[in-house]
Structure 1
Amino acid sequence: MSFVKKLSPFYNLTVFYILVSFILRIVLLFHPITQTSFEFIDALKIFSYGLVSDIFVFVLASGFLWLYLIFISNTKYLKPYGYIIFCLFVALFLYVLSGKTILNEYGGALPEIGLAFIGIKTALFGLLLFLPKYRSKIRFWLFTFVMFLFVLLILQNAISEYFFWNEFGVKYNFIAVNYLVYTNEVIGNIMESYPVIPLFSGLFLIAGIATYYIVKGSKSYIDSIPTFIEKVKLSGLYFVLFGLSLVAIPFFAAKENSKNVFTNELQANGIYKFYLAFMNSELDYFKFYKTLPSNEAYAILGQQIPSLSGESTLREIKSTAAENHKNVVLITIESYSADFMKMYGNEQNITPFLDSLATQSLVFTNLYASGNRTVRGLEAVTLCLPPTAGESVVKRKDNKDKFSTGSIFKQKGYNVKYLYGGDAYFDNMQDFFSGNGYDIVDKKTFKPEEITFSNVWGVCDEDMYNKAIRVMNEEAKENKPFFNHIMTVSNHRPFTYPNNKIDIPGDAKSREGGVKYTDFAMKKFFEMAKKQPWFANTVFVIISDHCASSAGKTELPVDKYRIPAMIYSPGFVQPQHYTNLMSQLDMMPTVFGLLNFNYQSKFFGQDVMKPEYKPRALIATYQDLGLIKDNILTIISPKQQAKQYQLTLQPKEGVSDNFQIYYEQKLLTKERTDLINETISFYQTASDMLKNKKYQKNK
């Protein structure tokens, strides 16, 4: 068999992918949503650059095919190698089955997925090892199945690109990435919106026919398996093409520079666009959402935030009293819903310490989280900025030198640190906080003797708090105030923590146990803190990063955004309930107000204790951006959509009026245009400030 024939699986699938992509471009070119005319040069770019780009993208995508084909061999089934490999597979399967792997540490469906994958690999290897007479037939059907999967994925991607274009008029962007996050909702929408059974029946039929011809033209590879030397040559050729593709793909993407937007989109490769959307984590507000003239948007924002002028949020914050440079410790609690606490109606007694601390604190009873991920909570308390479309600023490339709470404390002569029990590289926290002037204390800085318990997310909260006490004791010796932002980790799946701490075992892996242990660890922290000389001169700010879950009957179920928040500083902050509606991004400007800080602010968040503050809350997913005001939830979404819900309180018996969190959300029959414009003003101006680098820290 010639060397060229040994490449048949690759070039047959490549030709099929190019053919499908060509047909897709033709279909999208004549789609009703493609409302433009194309010059000859546009058409030439679409099909020439598009074709070459498709080839290089498929080279990268076929890496899994290369990996599969390169390991097809008869040699590995010879004695004793075959039996040794099979025993290793069995041992690995039993190890995963034991429940002591990192997959079990994380929890969820990962252990079952890992077990199924290794189990299938073990069973197939065993069949090929112990049934040599049927090896060729088994290998043929496995080869056919792999080819079928590739064909199916190519067709499925084409269908997905078509429907995405049908809805948005573009190739994949961050909305497509977002769909992976909200899989249940997306699948439900597809089931209700499209003829799924005929669609998938047709898909499988076409995939089956295409697979038949591709296998027919490619099975010579398994009929005469390449030798080791031939595989080395195949691999060398593939690596050269792989390296060339890494250079060529962004080169051709840069050629998407036509003034005709549709030309650029049709020329682009959808898979690469998806990759870029995933990596860049942004969604262009000005392309997909309702907008106002820029000066009008800032003018409306100025009615909500006093003292603004021009197209900026820069303003002077002046205090009538002397500044107070107390230490500040901000604790953001992982996945801590308001309804975990007794004052919000919980009867399980899983937050006894925080319930007690609330009676001694300034409690913000009506506060909403900005989003439903940790990075959104970190963004809200650090940048005090509305949750703009796409991923949090924390995970974006342009995330450094921003106007932040840390930059204000730095101006006032504070030491500024971010303390995290896990690895701060997770969720890009290291890059974000270090890039904004914070020193990082994370798991890497712990000595072995400082760790008594850890899981996949990091050390337990007790270990983190013990470390925090040591860090603050050292800082106190420098005769400088400190600002330390502590992020907890224990209230996160798999909800494991040290045994014999609370009445729920640490290996029970229960949400209630995670909540109660988090509360227990915080109690221990404050018991230690009260013994330190710096305690009396410290303000403690305690707030959740987001709720434990975000699923609901509407795009933004408001009860899934209600979080506990309080400020504790005996002798300085008087215990009381602040009951006005507010947002997570208002927390730190309010702390600055309590400390009488004078500073130039760019924050969208405000000091809610000021009389000019107008109650509202900003909540969002990656693409649905909401404003709660006047008992109305306004949501703006891609495709320039706006929707409004009337919020009607559904009181829970035995719960104080200030702590009621459940609302019926009923679509508003008559549009409140003023609230839609206010919603647009918040999110449009925030997007503008970030896009045009107007939210950098003050020089």
Structure 2
Amino acid sequence: MNKLKSKLGVLYPVITAFIICLAILTISRLLLIIWQWDRVTDANGFSEVILSGLRVDVSSLCYLFILPALFSSILSSDTIIGKFWTHILRIWITVSIWLIVYMEAATAPFILEYDLRPNRLFIEYLIYPKEVISMLWGGYKLELFLGGILSVTSIIMGWKASRYMTLNITYQKWYWRPILAIIIVTVGIMGARSSFGHRPLNPALVAFSTDPLVNDLILNSAYSVLFAYKQIGSEVDASKFYPNMDKTEIITEIRNSMNVSPEQFISNTQPSMAAHKATNQSSQKNIVILLLESHGARYVSELGGTNLSPNIDALINEGWAFTRLYASGTRSVRGIEAVTSGFSPTPARSTVKLGKSQNGFFTIADLLQKNGYHTQFVYGGESHFDNMKSFFLGNGFVDMQDLPTFDNPKFIGSWGASDEDLYKHADEQFTQLENDGKPFFSLVFSSSNHSPFEYPDNTIEPYNEPKQTVENAVKYADYALGQFIQKAKKSNYWKNTIFVVVADHDARTWGNQIIPIDHFRIPAIIFGDGIKAKKDNRLVSQLDLAPTLISLAGLNTKNPMLGHDLTLDVPKEKQRAMMQRDKTFAWMTEDNQVVVFLPEQPIQTYKYDYENDHLIKNKVDDAVIKRANANALWGSLAYREGYYKQLENYQLSQ
């Protein structure tokens, strides 16, 4: 070992740290492969994950250690400067080892929650330490404890190891230093790029499976998070990821995909802006959107799921229920974006969090507020979370009814007041607004069905043990909703209000398919006085709800929403669902043709076997691909070009 130390000289500490980190990443990947063995073997991916994973790790570590290697080749010496650099190097090595250990330790809990390695969400959650720490403490104490132990251990051992690495090293002669520096830069850059092509290594280059998690196992978690961070600034434009089209062609396809006649389009500067006449031409109605946290169709027996939602089941049989409605994304902000603005999903963050959409961006709250409605957001937590408050107040909502406005909540968990408290507060608000004689629009967002799944004791018969499981939280969320519905039916606002209950997304979107379609299916029921009971089997998107509610409320408007007014007949060829999962966009037609776009990869086409929830490789009509491509690009184009700007007056001329 001493001979090796002598031969490697000033590079010994860096090379040794490199090997240690590589060993940690390899062991972690092997453990993840063992854990996910069935999915890895289904993809015939063991050797691919190991070899490509080694390539990613070498590239990552080249980025991590190229600078200390370069500075070591120049500065390491038995001088004051050299000794100072040695301390910096020891800190660098220790922090590097800790970072690798910490990120890999965080991987398994993140996979359990999101079925992917840590990515952009990992960064976004860091913005809200209070909520995240509360969530982790409430439901992940063991993981926090183990993570803390591993972090402390890695720092102590890393610091001790770095002392040995830097002790008694041999310093190269001064005239070899420039040559060594050139070699380090050359080898480091080549290793970091890991490619002789015009683009360096990226996740698309090593992806091989239709199972997103298997592709993610090739990466390491530090690389995955840093790559996501790097792309946050540029990801607002889908054309950087999907096949590009001419702007005129995109607009033509978008207009043709809307259930609107050509003469209804009223603007060249806002291409989707159209005149929409309401089906209800009698009295105007209030609108209430009951947005359920993580309540997928798999928890609703009437939709083929587990019997955990008896109140939603009852509502399906007495309201206007959609049996094939799909969420546009996998995050709450994506669901909020869909139901309040009808905006298409993109590979970017939701418009709830993007800079240019914080004011002057179309929402139905703005439309309704300018039509004399009181507009409010009712939420049991802190409304600033996920930038909701900023987005809402800038775009038509005037009243934030969040946790600080609740009087003596019955139960407060990590995410705020319980759903019972939420609906009690909402009922009080609606009663007062009705008494004031002003029409209102309210978005009521639940939170009890969110890890760590906290809810009041003695409210439901637990479905399973321990108490804090997703199934019990779903059952409680349904219980609280049922209590509210019974109260609403007896209220003074019932006859004047159109309600919709809809999930923001499923609890987890996972599986070995390129896009797990059934995990996007969610319950949605429109109900209220005068709404006839029916089960609607059309293919429906979350984006279709807002236009439908506006029509049912009796408002003739101009608006830019692409969604269909479901009170009208929608031709089968125009029925579609669009689903965004991270950078993957999927488009499904009424006859289950599916087009999937992934970053920098060929377009993939499938036939969706609805009964067995399975995607089968299949040729899809070119016209369907073209329309899907246009819709995949539309959201970014509309955001960039300002096509979704608010109007001073949304009312149609009578």
CA distance in 1, matches of 2:498, 2:403: 27
Equivalence for 1:550: 509
Compared CA separation, residues 288 and 123, structure 1 to 2 (3 A): closer
Compared CA separation, residues 157 and 569, structure 1 to 2 (3 A): farther
* Shift of residue 405, structure 1, vs aligned partner: 1.3
| Aligned mate of 1:480, from 438, 442, 450 | 438
CA distance in 2, matches of 1:113, 1:63: 30
CA distance in 1, matches of 2:526, 2:585: 28
Deviations 1:269-301 (A, max 9, x none): x999864534x4734222331122221222222
Larger Rg: 1
Compared CA separation, residues 508 and 689, structure 1 to 2 (3 A): same
Q: Structure 2: where are the runs of 5+ without partners?
A: 1-9, 19-69, 72-84, 96-130, 168-184, 649-654
Secondary structure, counterpart of 1:580 in structure 2? strand
Matching of residue 187 in structure 1 with residue 147 in structure 2: no
CA distance in 1, matches of 2:147, 2:515: 36
Secondary structure, counterpart of 2:643 in structure 1? coil
Secondary structure, counterpart of 2:444 in structure 1? strand
* Shift of residue 525, structure 1, vs aligned partner: 1.2
Compared CA separation, residues 326 and 639, structure 1 to 2 (3 A): same
Equivalence for 1:591: 549
Deviations 1:289-326 (A, max 9, x none): 11222212222222221234757101111247525321
Secondary structure, counterpart of 2:272 in structure 1? coil
Equivalence for 2:634: 685
Deviations 1:217-239 (A, max 9, x none): xxxxxxxxxxxxxxxxxxxxxxx
Matching of residue 411 in structure 1 with residue 370 in structure 2: yes
Matching of residue 578 in structure 1 with residue 578 in structure 2: no
* Shift of residue 109, structure 1, vs aligned partner: 8.2
Compared CA separation, residues 65 and 155, structure 1 to 2 (3 A): farther
* Shift of residue 157, structure 1, vs aligned partner: 10
Q: Alignment length, in residue pairs?
A: 505
* Shift of residue 564, structure 1, vs aligned partner: 0.6
CA distance in 1, matches of 2:279, 2:151: 72
Compared CA separation, residues 330 and 117, structure 1 to 2 (3 A): closer
| Aligned mate of 1:663, from 598, 613, 623 | 613
Equivalence for 1:495: 453
CA distance in 2, matches of 1:399, 1:116: 40
Deviations 1:444-496 (A, max 9, x none): 4235x522212211111011111112222222233111110011101111112
Matching of residue 115 in structure 1 with residue 73 in structure 2: no
| Aligned mate of 1:617, from 569, 573, 577 | 577
CA distance in 2, matches of 1:454, 1:144: 51
Paired residue type of 1:116: L
Equivalence for 2:51: none
Q: Please tell me whether the aligned partners of residues 103 and 110 of structure 1 are also in contact (alpha carbons under 8 angstroms).
A: no
Deviations 1:520-562 (A, max 9, x none): 1011112322332112211111001111221122221211111
Equivalence for 1:96: none
CA distance in 2, matches of 1:679, 1:689: 16
| Aligned mate of 2:622, from 659, 673, 681 | 673
Compared CA separation, residues 118 and 677, structure 1 to 2 (3 A): closer
Compared CA separation, residues 314 and 356, structure 1 to 2 (3 A): same
Matching of residue 428 in structure 1 with residue 448 in structure 2: no
Deviations 1:115-155 (A, max 9, x none): 13544677899xx9xxxxxxxx99643656899xxxxxx99
| Aligned mate of 1:339, from 292, 298, 301 | 298
Deviations 1:498-530 (A, max 9, x none): 010001189611111011100110111123223
CA distance in 2, matches of 1:361, 1:155: 67
Matching of residue 292 in structure 1 with residue 245 in structure 2: yes
Secondary structure, counterpart of 2:352 in structure 1? helix
Paired residue type of 1:626: A
CA distance in 1, matches of 2:187, 2:429: 53
| Aligned mate of 2:254, from 279, 301, 311 | 301
CA distance in 2, matches of 1:187, 1:566: 36
Q: Please tell me whether the aligned partners of residues 498 and 506 of structure 1 are also in contact (alpha carbons under 8 angstroms).
A: no
Paired residue type of 1:375: V
CA distance in 2, matches of 1:606, 1:160: 51
Q: Please tell me whether the aligned partners of residues 371 and 546 of structure 1 are also in contact (alpha carbons under 8 angstroms).
A: yes
1:85-234 superposed matches below 5 A: 105-106=135-136, 110-119=140-149, 140-141=160-161, 143=163, 162=193, 169=199, 184-189=213-218
Q: Please tell me whether the aligned partners of residues 374 and 546 of structure 1 are also in contact (alpha carbons under 8 angstroms).
A: yes
Paired residue type of 1:300: E
CA distance in 1, matches of 2:468, 2:418: 14
Q: Structure 1: where are the runs of 5+ without partners?
A: 1-8, 18-50, 53-58, 70-100, 129-136, 148-153, 192-269, 651-661
* Shift of residue 672, structure 1, vs aligned partner: 2.0
Equivalence for 2:275: 316
CA distance in 1, matches of 2:480, 2:569: 37
Compared CA separation, residues 303 and 117, structure 1 to 2 (3 A): closer
| Aligned mate of 1:698, from 647, 650, 653 | 647
Compared CA separation, residues 102 and 293, structure 1 to 2 (3 A): closer
